[in-house]
Each structure stands twice: as structure tokens, then as C-alpha cells.
Amino acid sequence: MLVGSSPVLAVAAFAAAAVASQPGTIPRVVSPADSGKTITVPRETHLELRLPERYRWTAPRVRGTAVGLTRIYFIRDPGYLAWSILARARGTATVTAVGYGAQGIRQSCDPGPCAPHLFRVTFVVR
């Protein structure tokens, strides 16, 4: 790979390297299994949010200014959607998303709507 040949590859590689360098007790990857949790991290911590593609997810929303999200794009589909999370300022922020129905499966949700999959994690940045 040539350096500078693709900004997408550079962003994905940077995010992967940053996530891999974090200390042990802080989760490096945040997923729907972490929904409902509060995660405390020091400033400048990098994490990765992964949402499985078996659901159609709304774009994650951040309430608060303590963390920022940046979408990670892949050349090959890994089976999940990903965002880099940066703990950028002291305070609290909540990340939410909603997943609907299974993709690629021919099912009817009749007589009622499909149950949404709610995702919510609160970050406390120190």
C-alpha cells in the first residue's frame, strides 16, 4: 500500500492502531453487548464502536461534548459498522443508536412493527 494512496485506508489504519494501544481494563471495542453501561475513560482515549450489520442501524448520536465519533470505512466488509470514539474533553457523553429488523431476511413484521434494538452507552471522561 502506498502512503497517501487512500485517506480511507489511512483513517482505518490509524483508528485500529489507536484502539490496539489502550490499557487493559478499558474496553477497546464497544458493542451492543455494552448497551446500558457507563464506561469511564481518561482523556485522549481511543475506542471503537462496532454495530453488527444484521440490523439496519440509525447513525449513532452523541449527546454531550466529552467524546467525538468518526465513521470508519472499510475496503472489505467486516460484517459490522464501525466508528472511532475519541474521549476529547472532561465530562459526560451518551452515544445512542437504534437497530431495526434483520437485513437480507424475508420476514414480515405483521401484525406489528419489528422490535427495535436500542443501543446506549454513557462515557465519563476524566
Between residues 2 and 100, which one has the greater pLDDT?
Answer: 100
- Give the pLDDT confidence of 70-104 residue by residue, as tens digits: 999 999 999 999 999 999 999 999 999 999 876 45
Q: Provide the residue range defining the domain that includes 89.
A: 7-125
Rounded distance, CA 69 to CA 75, Å?
A: 20
Q: Is residue 2 part of a domain?
A: no
pLDDT in tens, 29-63: 999 999 999 999 999 999 999 999 988 999 999 99
Does 55 reside within a domain? yes
The CATH number of whichever domain residue 87 belongs to comes to 2.60.40.2020
Query: Is 17 within a domain?
Result: yes
Task: Supply the pLDDT for residue 6.
Answer: 47
Residue 99 lies in a domain: yes
- Specify if 1 maps to a domain: no
* Residues 65-100 as b or e (16 or more Cβ within 10 Å = b): ebbebeebeeeeeeebbbbbbbbeeeeebebebbbe
In total, how many domains does the chain have?
A: 1
User: Would residue 27 count as lying in a domain?
Assistant: yes
The answer to whether the pTM exceeds 0.85 is no
